[in-house]
Amino acid sequence: MTSGPPINNGVTFTKVLHHDTYPFIDPTKVNHAGHYVFISGGSKGVGRATAIAFAQAGAGGIALGARSDFGDIEKEIATAAQKAGKQPPRVLKLKLDVMDYSSVEAAAKETEKEFGKLDILINNAGYLSKFKPLLEADMDEHWRNFEINLRGTYFMTRAFLPLMLKGGEKTIINVASRGAHMTFPGGGGYQTTKFALLRFAEFLTAEYGEQGLLTYTVHPTSAMTELGSNMPENAHHLLVDTLQIASDTMCFLTAERREWLAGRYVDCGWDMPEFLSREKEIVEGGKLVMRMVF
């Protein structure tokens, strides 16, 4: 038996891989005026940074859902907007547990009541259990990856989709991971669920694309967040990114509808000028979608 080619997790897709934000994706130069966004997992890490980016870009309203305390996020958002010369957005802070559909449904209803619309949904809430082989992993902890990463994203999408289909930008970003392309021993719970999110985006495109829904998936950042700290210690040296490479890239990409990204995967570390210049190659080559090689 011969071994196959080494696993490619996509980091070399563009010639330059960024680890921090850069002028091309500067949110202060992006226009999100009139856009309303909901970010799950919005109290810390990537979610919190993304709220700041949308404020800098002039979003009209930012709704944040999380189980943990939001701290001074409303003040941080207002300050970020003002420093960028933008009107501070309306901010909606909602206690949200993506594992509880009644909680998610209530958040969707409150968002519709307060905003009347939703342009962009960022399914950012996630979980990563300690890397352990199947027989060594705690069953509940292992399955929690599926409850939050997969079913949580499903719950969020199901609850918010009716509002989104009424009008607006109709854009959903599902936050996945480079881990979706890997089989790192002990990562079966996390990496399997992130892989499933890639196909989920394709199904949303197939089922609701004709109604204007635009869904794609991103790898956000490789940073030492609370979630990232659960990676094996021998992988911690890879966690060198800032939160802003994720937040600013997502803010940049959603500033306009990029129909060609429907159902596709994007790494926030990729160089956006080069990535955008390769649109024709990506579309005609059927790249950045999940397919088995036969």
Active site residues: 190, 194
**Strands (DSSP E) along 130-170, which ranges?**
none
Residue 270, beta-bridge partner list: 17
Question: Are 32 and 282 within 8 A, CB to CB?
Answer: no
Rounded to the nearest 10°, the torsion over CA 92, 152, 198, 8 is 100
Rounded to the nearest 10°, the torsion over CA 130, 135, 140, 145 is 50
Neighbour tally for 257: CB within 10 Å? 15
Residue 173, beta-bridge partner list: 122, 216
Q: What are phi and psi of 244, to 5 degrees?
A: -70, -25
Concatenate the DSSP letters of all residues of 9-54 into one string.
-STTSSS-B-SS--GGG-GGGS--BT-EEEEETTTSHHHHHHHHHH
169 Cβ contact partners less than 8 Å away, ≥ 6 residues apart:
35, 119, 120, 214, 254, 257
Task: Compute the distance between CA of residue 173 and CA of residue 102 in angstroms, rounded to an integer.
Answer: 22
